[in-house]
């Protein structure tokens, strides 16, 4: 029987810019697999504007830490050779590697160009605030002098973009839509701010046929070059839905149907996410942003939050086969653009809610697992999370029965499967006082003594003759009960 899969996001925003991160991944691979993690999402591998940049200010998509550009040969995370070594080490240990790819914009151009634009309103990109088109001087020409024509001879200029945010001529920022034949904001994007095609830097124009061809060619090249197992697609609510669908189809046909895709469509509106999934033929998964915010709200509200409704209206509830569940990530961590950090007291419970249920593909955050560096530094919770990951890999199987019958104390049972000896578990979560749940785990379990893998409760629970256990939980905590593997 196939075991449960668990994904680890192997970076946080402030991970050390020492060029050693690919080495850290290579060295961590054996331990990760032993813990029950069989997938890693790695940060952008492409050359960015500086060796300190996290990778989302992408400069050259074909430079994976190979050419002397933007201040170094390596990226923030290491060299191309070290990247290959890390991927190989992961795959040798049965860990799939999913690469973060940034296709919305380009930054750090090599030359300036002069062209016509109209300025648009920041809060409504469809509203023009300049009386007529005017010239700006902007950084939009990419010639890649350090790489030349190796891997691709495509050179970018202003014709390949539809917007930018800086006029070097007058040294001022704004939202500038580039004027040209058949050029405008792409309409197949999120409708926040009227039209959310433009996000930052030089915005790639996916209405341009040469751009579409080049980006699909690059997507195939990257998969071949790295022999990776899939992609995490960044900022896709700002990119043409039609292009995303085309890109996924082309790359999957070039690689194989098992090539995995997950998209960052940062929108709490599950209906909008569902529409995107339908438009792209359900070829990819999406991160469950709604559940993330629900977990964040629960951590702030304490016992005023109704836990019995925590999954209502989430992506994992409505689209369980296309949902990647997560607690926090690099954008939600303190000080970052989408800060919405789950408070410490609820963190273990939040992870139990994504790791130990049957639906969704759970993603553990590097910052929670290993810790966060920088101004908002904090220690990792590896010792807290490893037991939950262990239970997911070894116990959390079979039919799921929910006991969501109280606003502050909820529970569920996984009844286990014959193929995995000792599988099955019972979970209790509370945001209030200590309590207990009487839950049915099976008549065949009578007399078994279960222990709390979450290490909150020390006493054992004996399953009664009817197959029920009374499972306690400490105040504001989670308990995870299962048959011990070793006495």
* Catalytic positions: 234, 264
In whole angstroms, give the CA distance from residue 162 to residue 193.
Answer: 16
In whole angstroms, give the CA distance from residue 333 to residue 365.
Answer: 10
List, in sequence order, every residue forming a beta bridge with 430; answer none if it has no partner. 409
Residue 387: its H or E element: helix 382-394
For residues 252 and 259, the answer to whether their CB atoms sit within 8 Å is: yes
Query: Pick from 321, 299, 324, 323: which is nearest to 310 by CA?
Result: 299
In whole angstroms, give the CA distance from residue 434 to residue 411.
Answer: 13
Q: Locate tokens 């810790």: which residue?
A: 371
In whole angstroms, give the CA distance from residue 256 to residue 252.
Answer: 5
Query: In Å, how far are 234, 301, 343, 365, 415 from 349, measured between CA atoms?
Result: 28, 14, 11, 15, 20
Give the strand pairing for 7-9 and 361-365. Answer: parallel
In whole angstroms, give the CA distance from residue 85 to residue 78.
Answer: 11
Q: Per residue in 86-105, is it b (16+ CB within 10 Å) or e — as a string? A: bbebbeebebbbbbbbbbbb
CA 49 to chain centre: 22
263, two tokens = 């998209």
């Amino acid at each position: 029987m196939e075991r449960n899969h668990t994904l680890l996001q192997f970076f946080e925003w402030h991970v050390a810019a020492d060029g050693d991160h690919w080495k850290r991944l290579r060295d961590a691979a054996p331990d990760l697999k032993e813990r029950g993690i069989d997938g890693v999402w790695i940060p952008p591998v492409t050359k960015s504007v500086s060796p300190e940049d996290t990778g989302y200010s992408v400069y050259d998509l074909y430079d994976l830490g190979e050419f002397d550009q933007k201040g170094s040969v390596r990226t923030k995370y290491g060299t191309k050779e070290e990247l290959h070594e890390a991927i190989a080490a992961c795959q040798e240990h049965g860990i799939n590697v999913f690469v973060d790819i940034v296709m919305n914009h380009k930054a750090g151009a090599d030359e300036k160009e002069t062209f016509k634009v109209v300025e648009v309103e920041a809060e409504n990109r469809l509203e023009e605030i300049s009386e007529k088109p005017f010239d700006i001087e902007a950084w939009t020409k990419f010639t890649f002098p350090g790489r030349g024509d190796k891997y691709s001879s495509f050179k970018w200029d202003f014709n390949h973009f539809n917007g930018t945010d800086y006029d070097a001529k007058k040294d001022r920022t704004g939202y500038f839509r580039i004027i040209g034949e058949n050029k405008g904001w792409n309409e197949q994007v999120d409708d926040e701010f009227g039209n959310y095609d433009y996000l930052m830097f030089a915005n790639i124009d996916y209405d341009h046929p040469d751009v579409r061809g080049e980006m699909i060619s690059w997507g195939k090249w990257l998969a071949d070059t790295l022999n990776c197992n899939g992609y995490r697609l960044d900022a896709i609510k700002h990119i043409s839905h039609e292009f995303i669908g085309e890109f996924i189809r082309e790359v999957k046909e070039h690689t194989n149907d098992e090539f995995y895709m997950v998209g960052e469509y940062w929108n709490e509106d599950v209906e909008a996410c569902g529409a995107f999934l339908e438009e792209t033929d359900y070829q990819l998964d999406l991160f469950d942003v709604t559940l993330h915010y629900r977990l964040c709200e629960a951590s702030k509200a304490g016992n005023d939050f109704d836990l019995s409704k925590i999954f209502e209206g989430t992506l994992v509830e409505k689209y369980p086969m296309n949902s990647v569940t997560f607690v926090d990530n690099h954008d939600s961590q303190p000080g970052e653009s989408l800060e919405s950090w789950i408070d410490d007291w609820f963190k273990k419970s939040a992870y139990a809610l994504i790791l130990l249920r049957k639906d969704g593909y759970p993603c553990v955050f590097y910052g929670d697992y290993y810790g966060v560096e920088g101004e908002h530094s904090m220690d990792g919770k590896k010792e807290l999370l490893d037991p939950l990951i262990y239970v997911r890999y070894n116990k959390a199987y079979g039919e799921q029965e929910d006991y969501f019958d109280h606003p502050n104390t909820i529970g569920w049972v996984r009844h286990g499967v014959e193929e995995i000896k000792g599988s099955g578990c019972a979970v209790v979560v509370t945001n209030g006082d200590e309590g207990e749940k009487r839950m049915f785990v099976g008549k065949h379990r009578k007399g078994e003594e279960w222990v709390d893998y979450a290490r909150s409760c020390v006493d054992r629970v004996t399953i009664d003759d009817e197959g029920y256990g009374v499972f306690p939980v400490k105040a504001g905590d989670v308990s995870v009960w299962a048959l011990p593997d070793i006495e």
